[in-house]
Amino acid sequence: MQQVNLGMIGGGTVGSGVFHAWEKNGGLMAARLGVQLVFRKIAVKSFDEPRPYPIARNLMTTDWQEVVNDPEIHIVIELVGGTGIAKTMVLAALAQGKTVVTANKALLSTHGPELFAAAAKSGANLYYEASVCGGIPIIKSLREGFVANQFPAIYGIVNGTCNYILSRMKAEGAEFADVLADAQKLGYAETPPDLDIDGYDAQHKIGILASLAHGFWADHHAIHTEGIREISKVDMQFAEKLGYTIKLLGIAKQISGKKPGVQVSVYPTLIPNAHVLASVNGVFNACFVRGDIVGDTLFYGRGAGKDATASAVLSDVADAALDLKNGGKVRVAPFVACVKGGRIAPMDEIVSRYYVRLCVLDKPGVIAKIAAIFASAKIGISSVFQPESQTGASVALILMIHDAPNAAMRKALAKIAKLPVVKNKPVMIRVENFE
């Protein structure tokens, strides 16, 4: 049986998880692949750093270059993270013609085209299934399983931290800050949590999916990104009354009209309770993929953690081993730029429905003033909800808005915010009906 040697950079939570999974099921993989997978060297920060699973001491080194420069190593697994030294490591491995397997979504989002070009130049390959949604095989599905499809829309709950926080806010009627603090104690949120709760982790992931789906690389700078800091338990409660659940969605959707393009964005969204994504709770991820031929499909599972990520990493290792078994030929390119002039539509061009919460004085004529501003902007109001209060006191005013361009909505809310009867900054959350 042919032997393929593995080297890994990173022996922490995920790295030790990969090694543990290989120890458990490496023999099964060999039987299925007809290739013996053998770890030769693993670079770690220190030999005694805490890790959930042990790694054999004789395999460890603290010098990552020993992994990259070892002529006996065929596949390099990069699990360091970040966009600094990790980029140097990956490029060094690719320059030597070694296949690289990575879980580094930030690196791919920021430097994807450069890394793919380096892989093509050296004749090596770059695999990254674990970079999006952990153990869910969404990358392989878009590249291979759905190769005959165009993708009118992809909707993803792709950040487990945000989904955990929003799920608990809804279930418990809790405030954002309280649930975040608890999530940090339980290890579901980092300290600081900005990358997750401000939407940037989801931005990296939906950008990768959008690129694969639409054939041009989505520049992360062009992806409109909002986090969940401004979501309150009040919004959760009103959304429930209206028949919706609030989720942080990554969206990649084809836009038609005078300026065709692709909407690629991340923001909190009201989802109808009847839709399957509304029931994805806790730290779980889900991707709802609409193909023009296959129709609607749903991918659901754990999006992070040592075991789910290890499953995806070893899946890529298996594909890379089969490449080597077949003479080193790259069977599936890491990314194929098949569309010229692809365009990410600016957020101001995007049309959607909206939920708006205002804090207003409860007095005659307030709704009329607000409605007049919307009317002048040619924005229609579909429904209005206002809880009872004592006259003269501030009260929440909830409006559901018909389809309107983001630019028009943004300008109208800026005018409404200046009205003397409006006491706080308006809260706006988009509504998605998956039509």
pLDDT 10s digits, 282-335? 999 999 999 999 999 999 999 888 999 999 999 999 999 999 998 888 888 999
Q: Can you list the domains of the chain with their CATH numbers?
A: 2-135+306-325 (3.40.50.720), 139-302 (3.30.360.10), 350-431 (3.30.70.260)
Spell out the residues 6+ positions from residue 396 whose beta carbon is closer than 8 angstroms to its own.
234, 238, 357, 358, 359, 386, 387
CA dist 402 and 419 (Å) reads 22
Would you tell me how many other CB atoms lie within 10 Å of the CB of residue 39? 19
Q: What pairing do the DSSP bridges indicate for beta strands 224-225 and 153-157?
A: unpaired
- Of 345, 398, 406, the closest CA to residue 377 belongs to 406
Closest among 203, 251, 194 to 431, alpha carbons compared: 251
Q: Packing angle between helix 406-417 and helix 366-376, nearest 10 degrees?
A: 150
What is d(CA 428, CA 354) in angstroms, rounded to the nearest whole number? 7
- What span, in angstroms and rounded, lies between the C-alpha atoms of 325 and 3? 9
d(CA 231, CA 233): 7
Q: Tell me the two tokens of residue 433.
A: 């009906």
Q: For the beta carbon of residue 259, count every other beta carbon within 10 angstroms.
A: 10
Q: Which positions are annotated as active-site residues?
A: 205
- Burial pattern 97-133, b for ≥16 Cβ within 10 A else e, equals ebbbbbbbbbbbbbbbeebbebbbebebbbbbbbbbb
Element (H, E) at 21: helix 13-33
Report the C-alpha gap between 414 and 329 in whole angstroms: 57
Counting as low any pLDDT under 70, the low residues of the chain are 389-392
Which pLDDT score, from 0 to 100, does residue 350 have?
Answer: 97
pLDDT digits (tens, 9 = 90+) for 274-283: 999 999 999 9
38: β partners: 5
The reported pLDDT for the residue numbered 188 is: 87
Which secondary-structure segment (H or E) carries 358? strand 351-361
Query: pTM here?
Result: 0.95
Write out the E strands in 83-214.
99-102, 126-127, 153-157
- pLDDT for position 281: 97
